[in-house]
Amino acid sequence: MKKVLIIGAGGVGNVVVRKCAQVPEVFGQIMLASRTKSKCDAIANDIPGANILTAQVDADNVPELVSLIKSFQPYMVINVALPYQDLTIMDACLETGVHYLDTANYEPKDVAKFEYSWQWAYQERFKEKGLMALLGCGFDPGQSQIYVAHAAKHHFDEIHYLDIVDCNAGDHGQAFATNFNPEINIREITQPGRYYENGEWVEIPAMSIHKPIDYPRIGPKESYVLYHEELESLVKNFPTIKRARFWMTFGQQYITHLTVLQNVGMTSIKPIKIQGVEIAPLEFLKAVLPEPGSLGENYTGETSIGCQIKGIKDGKDKTYFIWNNCKHQDAYKDCKAQGVSYTTGVPAMLGAKLMMEGVWMKPGVYNTEEMDPDPFMSQIGKYGLPWEESVGLELPHEY
């Protein structure tokens, strides 16, 4: 049994703690740390019988992180704090000699831009220390890439076309709310879209390419091309890919609210001064929107996330679709969470479990598709996210 330090007590952190607590033979002792210790205490006190310690830490402060890690001495850190804090937590892991896992790649606070270059630059430092950093081990990024690795290993000689399709067909009863951190969510969808085609990145205006996609057990939902971080690593690690796109659904009510907020400047990350105090409008908006972790109890419906793939096997064209559907009600029953937090937190726990057991363990910095997919695929179903697949069917995209 080993110790694990989980940093971040939002919706995803709540799921990761609860799922780790369900596997005490691997996660012998858990510490949950956040800037606000009361959030950690509320989660820990709601998990009867679990061996969970709590602590306060500023994840922007490397000396504070180092002090906490040295005092607790975990085997690894699971980072489910903000993406702005990835590098400081990685620095602290290097200084203290512990392994690292996160669910979203680094982005600077003052620029709505995310890419893996900052974290990939840590490769040699982690190798030299004999430490492993696993990046983006949520669902998308994370399980979506493991799906592609599974397809490449078992179904294709070459993957040529990839569409990652993400639908939330749930209803939380709010007029407008985001399913994960509002600041990160809105930054992500209001920046220009991008997709990969014929060796180049094609940039498009935000939300400008969209169409209905038919999701399993849900039906057709209007879906929009966004740039999502896993595309960057997938086209690097599977160089036969000719085109890769990421699609996500948004309801008309959500689009209408977002458009109005953009038009009046509330999604801006540029600070303005109000009564002598500087604040970014998006930070203020985050403060008044519902906390994502509070949405779970009354959430109905389900999510559907999968990979639609076309390529070559034994010299012949082949299509393949692999996906998971997750009901918000089931997520709440298991972890008192809504489905979006759940689908991010469960893969993070399993990725950490495989690292703790030495199944996924090699020094350096890696994305999830660089790991053997089989151990993950054989276990993820029993922890709450079973996968389904169809082979040879016509995919709902032009190729």
The predicted-structure confidence for 259-285, as pLDDT tens digits, reads as follows 667 777 777 778 888 888 788 777 777
pLDDT score of 329 more than 90: yes
SS3 letters across 335-387: HCCCHHHHHHHHHHHHHHHHHHCCCCCCCEEEEHHHCCHHHHHHHCCCCCCCC
Q: Do domains 2-135 and 143-336+382-391 have the same CATH topology?
A: no
Q: What is the mean pLDDT of residues 41-48?
A: 95
- Rounded Cα–Cα distance for residues 57 and 36 (Å): 8
Judging by DSSP bridges, how do beta strands 316-327 and 200-204 pair with one another? unpaired
Annotation: CATH topology of 143-336+382-391: Dihydrodipicolinate Reductase; domain 2 (3.30.360)
The predicted-structure confidence for 173-188, as pLDDT tens digits, reads as follows 565 656 556 666 676 7
Helix (H/G/I), strand (E/B), else coil: 141: coil
CATH number for the domain running over 2-135: 3.40.50.720
Q: What is the mean pLDDT of residues 138-155?
A: 98
Helix (H/G/I), strand (E/B), else coil: 65: helix
- What pLDDT is recorded for position 399? 39
Closest CA to 299 of 269, 275, 333: 333
Closest CA to 133 of 174, 177, 87, 90: 90
CB 187 within 8 A of CB 343: no
Q: Can you give the residue ranges of every domain in the chain?
A: 2-135, 143-336+382-391
64's tokens: 């504070």
Scan for tokens 């993950």, then name that residue. Answer: 376
Half-sphere exposure of 194 (CA within 13 A, CB side): 18
